[in-house]
Structure 1
Amino acid sequence: MSDNGYDSTKDSFNSAKEAAKESYEEAKEAASHAADDFKREYDNFTKDTNNKRILAGVLGIFFGYLGIHKFVLGYNKEGIILLIAGILTCGGAGIIGIIEGIIYLTKSEEEFHQTYQINKKPWF
């Protein structure tokens, strides 16, 4: 029996093993870069959400009767309803804005984003 075929198979196996290790290292590095990019974008996104949360909360407390906080969040229909209600009730509807402003400011960033940006909950 010849060991020549065995050596050839062993060399092919070792070559494939080295190629697999190289591919693994490249994939590991690419995944690491992708994870870093994802984290950076997520941090930027949540930072914007936090700014929107604070802005909507403060506007809701001080100018809630005008519905400005609704417009900031992209709820135009609800903003118009609150604006009209605020005018008709001489600002009495501002209590809604005060309550919503307090709710916005007391929620965590993630909870606010999930509730008002993703699920689009328009009232309270």
Structure 2
Amino acid sequence: MRTRSEEWEVVLQEYARPQALESRFTVSLAHLLPIAHGNPVFRSLYPVISMWSLTVTDSAVMEVTADALPAIAAMDGVYTVLAWPYPQETVLFQSADPVEAVEFTARLIEKQRAG
């Protein structure tokens, strides 16, 4: 299993490829990921890409999602912060600006971690 830092590098490299910028399914994630990586809260967590969203966990194993942190869905230039559990699609915040979505989500994660 890769470390959090190694996984971030893999994810960033995957979405830095030119093909990621050519598909409507990946271009928004390609814009979101470096911004999320630049945020210390996100960078401290393990990143997982699922469909069109960035999920993060404080767990060493993604199958263990006991922390139930929010995710950011990225599609067609819209960044939607979703509450756990994601299938219920409870929207907490939505913006065309990935920086706003990352900052909003980071504040939620910090509050959740603080208990």
TM-score range, shorter chain: 0.3 to 0.5
- Larger C-alpha radius of gyration, 1 or 2? 1
Q: TM-score, normalised by structure 2?
A: 0.33
| Greater strand fraction, Structure 1 or Structure 2 | 2
Q: TM-score, normalised by structure 1?
A: 0.31
